[in-house]
Amino acid sequence: LILILPLRSLFAKENLSRMSEQQLNRYDRLINEPSNDWDIYYWATEAKPTPAEFENDVMAMLREFAKNKKKEQRLRQPDLEYLFEPPR
């Protein structure tokens, strides 16, 4: 869980405000339907293939985010203030 929660919450902070309603629905399904958070982590880091029912644009965004091309430190979850910020 140490790596999973910051990955998902930092992804959410960076992306939720610019997602379409359909993408938000796909993200909600992704984070709520798999029974194991480790599955999402393995799919995002490409350690395991993503099942067809979760292979979509949101999963592709999460995989790209997980690559951390900017080499940002991602060891802790963001503060929750971003949930109350107006959309950009």
Mean pLDDT of 48-67: 95
Domain range spanning residue 16? 4-72
Confidence of residue 24 (pLDDT cuts 50, 70, 90): very high
In a domain, 77, yes or no: no
- Measured CA to CA, the distance from residue 58 to residue 25 in angstroms comes to 10
What are 39's two structure tokens? 């599955």
SS3 10: helix
Q: Is 88 within a domain?
A: no
pLDDT value of residue 83: 57
Q: What is the pTM of this model?
A: 0.73
In a domain, 29, yes or no: yes
Q: What is the sign, positive or negative, of the torsion defined by CA atoms of 70, 36, 30, 80?
A: negative
Q: How confident is the model at residue 1 (pLDDT cuts 50, 70, 90)?
A: very low
